[in-house]
Amino acid sequence: MSSYATKFSRDARRVTSDRRLRQTIRTALHNYEIARDRHQTAFRDWQTARQAAAETKWEAINLLPQHLAEFADKLAVRGTKVHWASTAKQASDIIVGIVQARGARSIIKSKAMTAEEIHLNGALENVGYEVVESDLGEFIVQLRHEAPFHIVFPSMHLTRGEIKDLFQSALGDAPSDDPEALTMVARRVLRKKYLTADVGITGANFAIAETGMISITENEGNARLTAALPKTMVTLLGIEKILPRMADLALFLPMLATAGAGQPMTGYNTLYGGPRQYGECDGPEEFHVVLLDNHRTELLADPQQRDALHCIRCGACLNVCPIFRNIGGHTYNTTYSGPIGSVITPHLRGLQDWKHLSAASSLCGACTEACPVKINLHHHLLHNRRNAVKLKPSAREQFGYDMFTSVMNHPFVWWLGKKTGWLLQPLHNIVKRSPLDPVRAWTKTRDLPPVPRHSFKDWWRKRK
């Protein structure tokens, strides 16, 4: 087992026995499900809308070179500097370079999972910059020096009491544990940061090829402020974020809101097509867009799993996943957690190190059912398992299956096995679940049904 797999099992075991944490997750997601169902049924036809969204993304990815070139060229025409980064290192070097060239002192950032992916904050802090996360959930986990727990709800694992204590110790300001009072503390602290920041960094939910615009979806208005006040704006996004036409948003914005957060429409959906234009009174003087590959083209090269690049990062698959609900987001130890994370992480960070994620699934298919762009998530987990074995067969497993095949091919051996099992059963009951148990890997967490004295076959023969 890779060290990642060992850590995964250890953390999963710890979280599944933490009842309070699991209760916090369950409460949060229960309300989400009720709201999501209500807004899904408001659609005239949610299922065909999913199909349409899937086909639009398929078209976007299938013609990616044209779309990306159009997107970049249209942005450039209106004064945006477009950068291309093959690796995470290149992307963070580009952004550090922009910040240094501007002689910036402080940086405000709105939520961007791609920035988590390339560890941008660390890179900027290494060269002496302060980066402040402005999304409330991100702000909270940043104060705790933690990674986001969920790609959409970063601080869903924390109770108001914990957040109050955190604000008290980190900010010296926590009037009560009332969510509204705590939110206002963050509002006051971050207002000052907005007004003084020289650079604003954002992610993007969509990249519109037709008009050369990025689209940012948020509820708090923090990205709006990040894109309005600082003199320089930097947007980091993956190359797969493309949508062909602006009008495609008429479908994608409400679907993202409904699937992701159980809202009919997210609070602010904002398109940006450049820095401040002639005749406009405010906005950044400079706008930089950084397009990131970072192994996405490797995933693209696999036609079977390519549709994982259709993902719009709504988080719906995490919300409905029985594994996520029980082991939580941090256990994955990846940027993208939940089913989509288990599918793409092996492509982004190495199949052999991360193949255990494909096994952490009940293959129930709830994720596939929830996905607004119809990514066949649980099938991809099977693909990953198959590919991992193909590349690195396990001799032990192979031996096991060879044995099984030969037993199944010889009825007498099978019969002998059944009888021996029945005879040895009382002995097994003595050692069951103890370290002496030969099948402890199974019995540790599962029941082993008793071997009956007479099999169905015996009974059938007698009956005749």
Partner 1 sequence: MSERDNILGRIREALKAKAPRPSPRDGAAPLPQPPAGGARQWLPPVGRNFKDWVELFGKNAAELKADFLLVSSSDEMRQALVSLRDAERWKSAACHSGLLPDAICPVLGIPMVHTDKHYDVHMLEACDVGITECDALIAQTGSVMLSSRRAGGRALSILPPHHVVLARRDQLVADLPAAFELLKTEYGDNLPSMISFITGPSRTGDIERILVLGAHGPKKLTVLCV
Residues numbered 152 to 171 that lie near partner 1 (CB under 8 A) are 153-156, 158-160, 163
Select from 60-68, 352-360, 389-397, 411-419 the region that touches partner 1 (CB under 8 A). Answer: 60-68
From the list 23, 27, 126, 420, which residue makes contact with partner 1 (rule: CB under 8 A)?
27
- Please report whether residue 132 would count as binding partner 1 according to CB under 8 A: no
Helical packing angle, 160-171 and 136-143, nearest 10°: 60
Q: Please, which of residues 216-275 interact with partner 1 by CB under 8 A?
A: 219-222, 224-225, 227-229, 239, 244-251, 253-254, 261, 264-275
Q: Which of 1, 101, 171, 301 binds partner 1 (CB under 8 A)?
A: 301
Using CB under 8 A, which of the segments 10-18, 116-124, 211-219, 432-440 binds partner 1? Answer: 211-219
CB of 403 to partner 1, least distance (A): 37
Three-class SS of residue 26? helix
Q: Report 81-110 residues binding partner 1 (CB under 8 A).
A: 83-86, 90
The set of residues, in sequence order, having a beta carbon less than 8 Å from that of 234 and lying 6+ positions away, is: 95, 98, 99, 199, 200, 201, 202, 287, 288, 289, 290
The answer to whether residue 51 forms part of the interface with partner 1 (CB under 8 A) is: yes
Q: Where are the alpha helices (DSSP H) in 63-199?
A: 64-77, 88-101, 113-117, 120-126, 136-143, 160-171, 179-196
Residue 207 in 3-state DSSP?
strand
Annotate each residue in 67-86 with x if it binds partner 1 (CB under 8 A) or - if it does not, as one string. -xx--x-----x----xxxx
Give, as ranges, the residues between 376 and 395 that touch partner 1 (CB under 8 A).
none
- 43 lines the binding site for partner 1 (CB under 8 A): yes
- The sheet that has 81-85: what strands, in order across it? 81-85, 286-292, 232-238, 199-202, 106-109, 130-133
Can you tell me the distance from the alpha carbon of 14 to that of 70, in angstroms, rounded to the nearest whole number? 49
Distance between CA atoms of residues 368 and 380, nearest Å: 10
> What is the length of the chain?
464
Member of 70, 116, 117, 307 binding partner 1 (CB under 8 A) = 307
Task: Report the alpha-carbon angle 186-191-195, nearest 5.
Answer: 155
d(CA 98, CA 199): 9
Q: Which of 297, 352, 394, 398 binds partner 1 (CB under 8 A)?
A: 297
Task: Tell me the site size for partner 1, rule CB under 8 A.
Answer: 109
| Nearest distance, CB of residue 320 and partner 1, angstroms | 16
